[in-house]
């Protein structure tokens, strides 16, 4: 990493009033991400929740397995259990039936060589027996069962105690975002509760005098506030607790009251609008009153302006993300900077985003020197390869192109034009939490 990419440098440069920032001075996306990566929240208190309320929550401490799963060696097939020494012959194997073991019964008494036990899937293996021959393989005449040599190896069709989870081992690591399989895994350990971090509280507001609430007649010069609805949905899908503080007029007193309330009530404050260079904007000045806020001009499209900082009100501290007002820019900035940060400060150690390398049949014009995010539909072509088609007009106010898309094409900073048939990286949006 050169000096150019250190967070400190990003910090210093971001202090420059953004209306003076020339495009060449804009901050790189990876530089901004690295800065955001080191923002943190004060320590929070974990609590235990019942499994049915744990989906999507973040595990606060390693879960150590209190028992072996399965608890006993058991049969993986319906058939006959026997001792593998009985396989040491080139002749058909003949065994004498001693009894029956069903799932849910305690282990049967020990058997000896030459004996076998009728056994059902999941039943505890009788002591001394280590192999199961499936019933399809045997011929049975009264108490005698026979099967050919060579079809079964020692240990076949037997599940070992602890082969899924070993007592004393870490079954789930702190930082895991609980998925359906994890909930089942905790249940398989007999645990009814799990320690999780509290849900992150995120206050959401939009700024601008033009904003009207959906459901109300649109005033002259007005637009409906869509950002608060997309952002609310993005946050809800992420599993955080959202405090919707509404649309705030671009007036210092109103902004001061709204940001003050947001900071006091939430871990993270997310606003949209007012972070660029507009004449009427008081948003940036008010944000700056609450703490150390950086007003970035980013080398990206869409989503050039972004405010990031740590703010305080009444002794309560919060992180602040001021997203650009244009609807697509606000969403792209959320995906590029906010989503990962929210997961991280909520205690999660998320796995890296799954991305797709897709062919773009159409060429794409791209200037090196900025990261571009384009909306596209990614699907398999007739040859079974991933292929992406852009969803029309890519202006940062064209929310319909985002609505049609199932992925974001990410063209990195240094990238130049993509020739027809070139390969691009796509972030699949539909599969995200
Ligand atoms: N001279 C310059 N002008 C602009 C620049 C620049 O660098 N120099 N940057 C442009 C870019 S890029 C963006 S993005 C916008 C961002 O500006 P703001 O964050 O200050 O946002 P606003 O000016 O408040 O609004 C921009 C645009 O978005 C609409 N908007 C705002 N909030 C909402 C909402 N909640 N729901 C739907 N739409 C919203 C607003 O009406 C404007 O049309 O600035 C460019 N200008
Ligand atoms: O953030 Mo702006 O164009 O990049 O909409």
Domains and their CATH numbers in the chain: 3-37+199-345 (3.40.980.10), 47-68+164-196 (3.90.105.10), 74-159 (2.170.190.11), 356-428 (2.40.340.10)
Work out which ligand 2 atom sits closest to the CA atom of 301: 4
Strand 305-313 relative to strand 316-323, pairing: antiparallel
Cα of 386 vs centre of ligand 2, distance in Å, is 28
Q: Which two tokens stand for residue 403?
A: 């609505």
Q: State whether the beta carbon of 115 lies less than 6 angstroms from ligand 2.
A: no
- Chain segment 363-401, per-residue pLDDT in tens: 999 999 999 999 999 999 999 999 999 998 999 999 999
273 lines ligand 2 (CB under 6 A): no
Residue 63, H or E segment: strand 63-64
323 Cβ inside 6 Å of ligand 2: no
Q: Cα–Cα distance between 280 and 276 in angstroms, integer?
A: 11
Ligand 1 pocket: which of 204, 276, 371 to mutate (most atoms within 8 A of CB): 276
Complex ipTM value: 0.97
Would the CB of 211 count as within 6 Å of ligand 1?
yes
Dihedral angle computed from the Cα positions of residues 114, 117, 123 and 126, in that order, rounded to the nearest 10 degrees = -50
Backbone φ and ψ of 168, nearest 5°: 90, -10
CA angle at residue 391 from 386 to 392, to 5 degrees?
Answer: 140
pLDDT in tens, 105-149: 988 888 888 999 999 999 999 999 999 999 999 999 999 999 999
Query: What is the Cβ-side half-sphere exposure of residue 46, based on CA atoms within 13 angstroms?
Result: 17
Query: Is ligand 1 within 6 A of the CB of residue 272?
Result: yes
What distance in Å separates the CA atoms of residue 328 and residue 33, rounded to the nearest whole number? 19
Contacts of residue 186, defined as CB under 8 A and 6 or more positions apart, other chains included, come to 51, 54, 63, 171, 172, 194
The rounded Å distance from CA 327 to ligand 1 centre is 8
Q: Are 399 and 406 in contact (CB under 8 A)?
A: no
Beta strand residue intervals within 149-281, DSSP E: 158-159, 170-172, 193-196, 201-207, 211-212, 223-224, 241-248, 268-272
Does the CB atom of residue 275 touch ligand 1 within 6 A? yes
pLDDT (tens place) for every residue of the chain, 433 residues total: 333 333 344 443 444 344 444 555 899 999 999 999 999 999 999 999 999 999 999 999 999 999 999 999 999 999 999 999 999 999 999 999 999 999 999 888 888 889 999 999 999 999 999 999 999 999 999 999 999 999 999 999 999 999 999 999 999 999 999 999 999 999 999 999 999 999 999 999 999 999 999 999 998 999 999 999 999 999 999 999 999 999 999 999 999 999 999 999 999 999 999 999 877 789 999 999 999 999 999 999 999 999 999 999 999 999 999 999 999 999 999 999 999 999 999 999 988 889 999 999 999 999 999 999 999 999 999 999 999 999 989 999 999 999 999 999 999 999 999 999 999 999 999 888 8
Given CA atoms 266, 269, 270, 273 in this order, what sign does their dihedral have? positive
Tell me, rounded to whole angstroms, the distance of Cα 145 from its chain centroid: 53
In this structure, which residue's CA is closest to atom 3 in ligand 2? 302
pTM of the model: 0.90
266 three-class SS: coil
Residue 95: CB atoms within 10 Å: 23
Sign of CA dihedral 47, 52, 56, 61: positive
Q: Is the CB of 407 under 6 A from ligand 1?
A: no
Distance CA 311, CA 264 (A): 10
Q: Could you say which ligand is closest to the alpha carbon of residue 326?
A: 1
Query: Which ligand has its closest atom nearest to the C-alpha of 277?
Result: 1
């Amino acid at each position: 990493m050169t000096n150019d990419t250190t967070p400190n440098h990003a910090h210093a440069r971001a202090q420059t009033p953004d209306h003076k920032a020339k495009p060449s001075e804009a901050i790189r996306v990876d530089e901004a991400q690295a800065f955001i990566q080191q923002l943190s929240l004060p320590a929070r208190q974990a609590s235990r929740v019942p499994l049915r309320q744990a989906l999507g929550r973040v595990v606060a401490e390693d879960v150590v397995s209190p028992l072996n799963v399965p608890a006993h060696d058991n049969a993986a097939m319906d058939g006959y259990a026997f001792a593998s020494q009985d396989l040491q012959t080139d002749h058909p194997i003949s065994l004498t039936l001693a009894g029956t073991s069903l799932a849910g019964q305690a282990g049967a008494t020990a058997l000896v060589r030459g004996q076998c036990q009728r056994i059902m899937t999941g039943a505890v293996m009788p002591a001394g027996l280590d192999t199961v021959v499936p019933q399809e393989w045997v011929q049975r005449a009264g108490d005698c069962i026979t099967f050919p040599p060579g079809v079964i190896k020692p240990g076949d069709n037997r599940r070992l105690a602890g082969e899924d989870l070993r007592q004393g081992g870490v079954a789930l690591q702190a930082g895991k975002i609980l998925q359906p399989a994890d909930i089942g895994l905790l249940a398989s350990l007999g645990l009814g509760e799990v320690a999780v971090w509290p849900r992150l509280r995120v206050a959401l507001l939009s700024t601008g005098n033009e904003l009207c609430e959906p459901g109300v007649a649109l005033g002259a010069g007005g637009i409906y506030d869509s950002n608060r609805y997309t952002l609310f949905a993005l946050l809800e899908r992420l599993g955080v607790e959202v405090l919707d503080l509404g649309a705030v007029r671009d007036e210092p007193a109103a902004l001061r009251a709204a940001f003050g309330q947001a900071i006091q009530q939430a871990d993270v404050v997310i606003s949209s609008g007012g972070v660029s260079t507009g004449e009427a904007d008081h948003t940036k000045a008010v944000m700056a009153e609450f703490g150390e806020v950086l007003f970035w001009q980013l080398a990206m499209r869409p989503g050039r302006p972004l405010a990031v900082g740590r703010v305080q009100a009444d002794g309560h501290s919060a992180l602040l993300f001021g997203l650009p007002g244009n609807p697509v820019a606000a969403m792209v900035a959320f995906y590029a900077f906010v989503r990962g940060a929210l997961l991280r400060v909520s205690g999660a150690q998320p796995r890296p985003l799954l991305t797709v390398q897709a062919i773009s049949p159409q060429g794409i014009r791209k200037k090196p020197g900025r990261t571009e995010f384009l909306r596209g539909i990614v699907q398999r072509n007739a040859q079974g390869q991933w292929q992406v088609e852009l969803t029309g007009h890519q202006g940062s106010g064209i929310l319909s192109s985002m609505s049609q898309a199932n992925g974001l094409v990410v063209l990195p900073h240094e990238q130049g034009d993509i020739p027809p048939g070139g390969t691009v990286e796509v972030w699949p949006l539909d599969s995200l939490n």
